[in-house]
Amino acid sequence: MKKIVAYATVAVLAATPLSAQRNFDDVEITAEEVAPGIAVLFGAGGNIGVSHGEDGTVLIDDQFAPLTAKIEAAVAELGAQPVGFVINTHWHGDHTGGNENLGEKGALIFAHHNVRTRLAEGREGERPVPPAPDAALPVVTYGQGVTMHLNGYRTDVMFLGGGHTDGDSIVYWHGANVVHMGDLYFKIPGFPFIDTSSGGNVIDAMNSLDAVIRMIDGETKVIPGHGPMSNKAELVAYRAMIGQAVDRVRDLRIGGNTLDQALAAKPLADFDRGEGFIDADGFVTAIYRSLDARD
């Protein structure tokens, strides 16, 4: 019974990736081991990858600040050492909210250059984000990626061109055959999230997904940014769905339709994505703006 409640909580919270205004008291952090020394933590916000072993504990993303103590408890329950390293897959608050807490305790935070810049600057407008405090900022930043040699795995942290934002990293554990996708891949109802106001572009997202698909095989364990564990076949289907959507919106745009006209045409009406964080209009808008940005 307890387990069912926990998963129901996860499903509801995972559907609202960016929402920070909520009560975290009821959030349970659940862990799933995916390979020796590699686990995923589900809670509220982006899925957390954990690498642990004799060399220390690495977290891929850290959800929201009020959850840090629960995340640390879940890490300890895995038998892991306290968090020594954090990798941010991108700058969104549901993936970086724990940075300040963990950074203050001495965890070394890694991310793409643009993640640090966006966290430091914050953003104004529709969904304002205040500038992050110094302790929350990545200390080691990179352009193309960085390779870590920890806990018996070569771990490649790779920027493949972004797409969800302009600073998306994926993390691939060689040997374990596990990949963390960040928000380049949502396995939740609704459409993909292309944050064009954070430099995201659907063309880059497709290229990044293609690069991962070439890299992995049928046995790869795929950790999505949100939602339950996945695999290559599902990732391939997700990429194909995006391609289809882009083709339809591109045709409308080339045919002279404005964004409003493209929305009115409901080009994704027959896509069976369910209701989620991003609806069809949101995705059509993001595709249209992405194509505008490449003219």
| Binding positions for Zn ion, rule: CB under 5 A | 92, 183
- In the bound state with Zn ion, the residue whose beta carbon lies nearer, of 166 and 183, is 183
How far apart CA 229 and CA 157 sit, in angstroms, is: 19
Please, what is the minimum distance in Å from the beta carbon of residue 149 to Zn ion?
Answer: 28
Return the closest-CA partner of residue 169 out of 184, 153, 186. 184
Whose Cβ is closer to Zn ion: residue 92's or residue 253's? Answer: 92
Least distance CB 78 / Zn ion (angstroms): 25
> Is the CB of 136 or the CB of 252 nearer to Zn ion?
136
DSSP of 51-81, one letter per residue?
Answer: E-STT-EEEE----GGGHHHHHHHHHHTTPP
Distance CA 59, CA 40 (A): 9
Measured from the CB atom, is 100 or 183 closer to Zn ion? 183
Please name which of 77, 84, 138, 89 lies closest in space to residue 110, comparing C-alpha atoms: 138
CB atoms within 10 A of CB 294: 9
| Nearest distance in Å: CB 293, Zn ion | 18
Toward Zn ion, which CB reaches closer, 59 or 176?
59
Task: Give the Cα separation of 43 and 201 in Å (integer).
Answer: 27
Contacts of 72 (CB under 8 A, 6+ apart): 82, 83
Residue 18 CB-density burial (10 A; 0-12 exposed, 13-18 middle, 19+ buried):
middle
Contact 262, 284 (CB under 8 A): yes
Which residue number, 94 or 252, has a Cβ lying nearer to Zn ion?
94
- The distance of closest approach from Cβ of residue 183 to Zn ion in the complex, given in angstroms and rounded to an integer, is 4
Q: Rank residues 164 and 253 by Cβ distance to Zn ion and give the closer one.
A: 164
Q: How far is the CB of 185 from Zn ion (least distance, A)?
A: 11
* Whole-number Å distance between alpha carbons of 275 and 55: 42
Q: How far apart are CA 209 and CA 225, in angstroms?
A: 13
Nearest to 37 by CA among 206, 188, 174, 226: 174
Q: Which is nearer to Zn ion, 70 or 92 (CB)?
A: 92
**Residue 203: in which H helix or E strand, if any?**
helix 202-215
CB of 99 to Zn ion, least distance (A): 14
Q: Minimum distance from CB of 150 to Zn ion (Å)? A: 25
- Least separation, in Å, of the C-beta of 92 and Zn ion? 4
Dist. CA 295–CA 293, nearest whole Å: 6
Contacts of 7 (CB under 8 A, 6+ apart): 30
